[in-house]
């Protein structure tokens, strides 16, 4: 018997491959492959998760994430009614595609845009439209030129993973202004907290434009160091959140995760520490790699895209060499960037070890 046919589009998905966490023969590895925080979570978040685990796991969690939304609203100065929480922000990307796109619709994303986008688009049978970039940076004119009568959503990671590049506030505004009003602009700001540029804005102001066509997604997985807890959130128009609330899992964020994230967002000192650590190391590692002859794409995230002069063969050889030393970086051939590796900023010791071994590779 033939296997039961899945819905349209699903077999077009190239399954997401997470960064490796283990190397055979090593008890401990240095994992710089998944943009996880080298500082880990706020101790207050860990305590809150433990307390939640101790106080009634037989009970369903708050389906509305009320305390967490209130805490996020307070810290960011946002109306909790316009906030939705999720099991990681990736869930929101899927819900947005499911809520707004279907067979025959088009969803736009950028050439080196986050690889989750084509997955969410194929999953609903819609057509992914990949738009060329300029110097590893989203190109507003190219996105605008790609819109058609069938365009439903534009996905923009700002800053983007794996490139680390960003669009300034005025460019994002130009993008919104140039898109038809009935196209949903999804601003994925997973790395917003790391950005240290005066001309950057995550997009909350655009959500408030009154047209109900822009949403900003955020995550606790990166600077908050809570990737294992799986918590994301979005700030968007009530009309869009209503669609997402209809189709999400009722209890999509666990009690422990809600507690952890609520404590984490209230500990902005910890966030500031993580940001300062990152701002110290991104330029340090970038400069050191450039002195070894690499090209580094200027990064505004907690990672660096490093290009090898020797192309894919050299990138792959470096990856193997570093693995033989217990260091795992992220190959990005799935982004058509086989000549580069993505390097997450680690602890000071991990970063020093990376630079030592990379120098050994080139020697
Ligand atoms: C890591 C990342 C996310 C966040 O994923 P979570 O599901 O929240 O862990 C979203 N977008 C981009 C671009 C990312 O790199």
Is pTM beyond 0.95? Reply is yes
Domain 43-266, architecture per CATH: 3-Layer(aba) Sandwich (3.40)
Q: Report the relative pairing of strands 295-297 and 303-307 from DSSP bridges.
A: antiparallel
CA 190 to centroid of ligand 1, rounded, Å:
6
pLDDT tens-digit profile of 249-261?
999 999 999 999 9
Nearest CA, atom 4, ligand 1:
89
Residue with tokens 């506030």: 169
CA of 90 relative to ligand 1 center, distance in Å = 6
Computed over every residue of the chain, the mean pLDDT equals 97
Query: Is the Cβ atom of 227 under 6 angstroms away from ligand 1?
Result: yes
Q: Compute how many other C-beta atoms are within 10 angstroms of the C-beta atom of residue 54.
A: 9
Q: What is the pLDDT of residue 2?
A: 79
pLDDT of residue 180: 98
Q: Half-sphere exposure (CA, 13 Å, Cβ side) for 198?
A: 0
Q: Tell which one of 85, 114, 190 to mutate to probe ligand 1, the residue whose CB is within 8 A of the most ligand atoms.
A: 190
User: How large is the greatest C-alpha to C-alpha distance in the chain, in angstroms?
Assistant: 61
Ligand 1 within 6 A of CB of 189: no
Q: Which of 191, 184, 180 is nearest to 215 (CA)?
A: 184
Q: What is the mean pLDDT of residues 83-95?
A: 98
How many angstroms does the Cα of residue 91 sit away from the middle of ligand 1?
10
State the pLDDT at residue 127: 98
Per-residue model confidence as pLDDT tens digits over 29-50 = 999 999 999 999 999 999 999 9
User: Does 93 contact ligand 1 (Cβ within 6 A)?
Assistant: no
Between the CA of 322 and the centroid of ligand 1 the distance, in Å, is 25
Cα gap 65→252, rounded to integer Å: 9
Is CATH 3.90.1150.10 the classification given to domain 10-31+269-362? yes
pLDDT above 70 as % of the chain: 100
**Residue 359 belongs to what H/E stretch?**
helix 348-362
Q: What is the pLDDT of residue 237?
A: 98
Ligand 1 centroid from CA 221, angstroms: 7
Cβ of 190 closer than 6 Å to ligand 1, yes or no, is yes
139 lines ligand 1 (CB under 6 A): no
- At 3, the pLDDT band (50, 70, 90 cuts) reads confident
pLDDT in tens, 234-284: 999 999 999 999 999 999 999 999 999 999 999 999 999 999 999 999 999
Specify the pLDDT at position 1.
Answer: 74
Ligand 1 atom closest to 222 (CA): 1
Average pLDDT over residues 1-16: 91
CA angle 283, 280, 292 (to 5 degrees): 35
Confidence category of residue 153, pLDDT binned at 50, 70, 90: very high
Among 298, 306, 292, 290, smallest CA distance to 339 is for 306
For 283-316, the DSSP string reads HHHHHHHHHTT-EEE--SSSEEEEE-TTHHHHHH
pLDDT score of 173 more than 90: yes
Instruction: For residue 350, give the 3-state DSSP assignment.
Output: helix
Share of the chain above pLDDT 90, in %: 98
The structural domains of the chain, with segments of one domain joined by +, span: 10-31+269-362, 43-266
Query: Alpha-carbon distance 197 to 272, whole Å?
Result: 15
């Amino acid at each position: 018997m033939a296997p039961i046919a899945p819905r349209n589009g699903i077999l077009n998905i190239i399954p997401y491959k997470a960064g490796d966490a283990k190397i055979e023969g090593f008890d401990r590895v240095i994992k710089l492959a998944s943009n996880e925080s080298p500082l880990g979570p706020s101790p207050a978040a860990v305590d809150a998760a433990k307390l939640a685990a101790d106080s009634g796991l037989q009970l369903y969690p708050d389906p509305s994430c009320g305390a967490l939304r209130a805490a996020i609203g307070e810290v960011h100065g946002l109306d909790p009614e316009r906030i939705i929480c999720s099991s990681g922000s990736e869930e929101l990307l899927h819900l947005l595609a499911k809520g707004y796109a279907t067979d025959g619709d088009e969803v736009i994303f950028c050439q080196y845009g986050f690889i989750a986008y084509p997955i969410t688009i194929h999953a609903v049978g819609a057509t992914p439209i990949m738009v060329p970039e300029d110097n590893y940076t989203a190109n507003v004119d190219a996105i605008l030129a790609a819109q058609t009568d069938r365009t439903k959503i534009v996905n923009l990671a700002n800053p983007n993973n794996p490139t680390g590049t960003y669009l300034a506030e005025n460019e994002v505004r130009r993008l919104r202004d140039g898109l038809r009003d009935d196209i949903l602009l999804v601003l994925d700001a997973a790395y917003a907290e790391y950005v240290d540029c005066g001309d950057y804005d995550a997009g909350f102001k655009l959500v408030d434009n009154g047209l109900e066509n822009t949403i900003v997604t955020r995550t606790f997985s990166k600077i908050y160091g809570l990737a294992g807890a799986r918590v994301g959130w979005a700030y968007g128009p009530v009309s869009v959140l209503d669609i997402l609330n209809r189709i999400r899992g009722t209890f999509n964020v666990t009690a422990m995760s809600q507690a952890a994230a609520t404590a984490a967002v209230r500990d902005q000192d910890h966030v500031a520490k993580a940001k300062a650590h990152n701002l110290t190391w991104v330029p340090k590692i970038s400069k050191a790699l450039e002195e070894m002859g690499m090209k580094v794409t200027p990064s505004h995230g907690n990672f660096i895209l490093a290009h090898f002069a020797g192309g894919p063969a050299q990138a792959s050889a470096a990856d193997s060499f570093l693995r033989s030393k217990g260091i795992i970086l992220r190959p990005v051939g799935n982004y058509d960037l086989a000549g580069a590796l993505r390097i997450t900023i680690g602890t000071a010791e991990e970063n020093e070890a990376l630079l030592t071994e990379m120098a050994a590779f080139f020697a």
